Amino acid sequence: MNRTEVLNAISKAIMANKNDKPLRVGISGITSSGKTTLANELSKQLGKMGVPVIQARMDDFHNPKSVRYQRGRESAEGYYLDAYDHQSLLNKLLIPLGPNGNRQYSVKSLDLSSDQYVDSAIETAKENSLLLIDGTFLFKDDLRKELDFMIYVQTDIDIALERGSLREQHALGGLERAKSIFIERYHAASRMYLDEHEPAKYADMILVNNDLDHPELIVNNRK
């Protein structure tokens, strides 16, 4: 299948789960696996189908530096355990859009550039809206239970390393420095996530994303 065909298949599966309540779709995968790219593609495609899409990123629910770097700037354990503010993500976004929520949500709690908490605008979701949220650790147990449909982006770690370090080389001080940080912090933490939570096991669909033009789609009949 080419990428267009895969996107069509994923969109069709998502729409099969739609009803008159907001649907919370989560996309997870190791750092630089292609989660945000997939979320952007699906947002555009579902929007063309007339679906009111709310797009959010787990990266907008970070903890401040004082928390996320408390074990060291390059600590894998620190990234895995301290980077994200789960409670804000649950309270501001996932629970309000859940079956018993009031549909009053925010898509951001912390501005990374200023390292300051923000009073993000509270919006009201339409009853037939669809949330698309991506994040590396999004299928941790406490977050996973607040998602209705899950997609795991499976990319070999060496391929994700090349993609990520190329993308972040200017921000992280050069290509070799970027590779080192990915290996020692981001992907070491990703391995912890895979070992402890086995995120692919819980996904409704798995996108094998090594070949961007011809990814493989696996339907996981977990239910």
pTM exceeds 0.85 for this model: yes
Q: What are the tens digits of pLDDT across the range 10-19?
A: 999 999 999 8
Distances (CA, A) of 76 to 81, 85, 104, 147, 221: 9, 17, 34, 26, 32
Nearest-Å Rg of the Cα atoms of the chain is 17
Give the mean model confidence (pLDDT) for residues 184-189.
Answer: 96
- Alpha-carbon distance of 14 to 92, in angstroms, equals 23
Share of the chain above pLDDT 70, in %: 99
Helix (H) or strand (E) segment spanning residue 111: strand 110-111
Residue 120: the pLDDT is: 78
**Running DSSP on this structure, what letter comes out for residue 101?**
S
> Distance between the two ends of the chain, CA-based, in angstroms?
25
Structure confidence at residue 222 as a pLDDT band (50, 70, 90): low
Q: What are the tens digits of pLDDT across the range 38-91?
A: 999 999 999 999 999 999 999 999 999 999 999 998 999 999 999 999 999 999
Query: What residues pair up with 217 in beta bridges, in sequence order?
Result: 207
CB burial of residue 151 (10 Å; 0-12, 13-18, 19+):
buried
Domains along the chain with CATH numbers = 3-219 (3.40.50.300)
Instruction: Give every CB contact of residue 66 below 8 A, 6+ residues apart in sequence.
Output: none
Residue 1: the pLDDT is: 87
* Tokens linked to 182: 């990915």
Q: What are the tens digits of pLDDT across the range 100-130?
A: 999 999 999 999 999 999 987 899 999 999 9
Cβ-based neighbour number of residue 136 at 10 Å: 24
Residue 221 has pLDDT above 80, yes or no: no
Residue 223 has pLDDT above 90, yes or no: no
Residue 189: the pLDDT is: 97
Residue 35 has pLDDT above 70, yes or no: yes
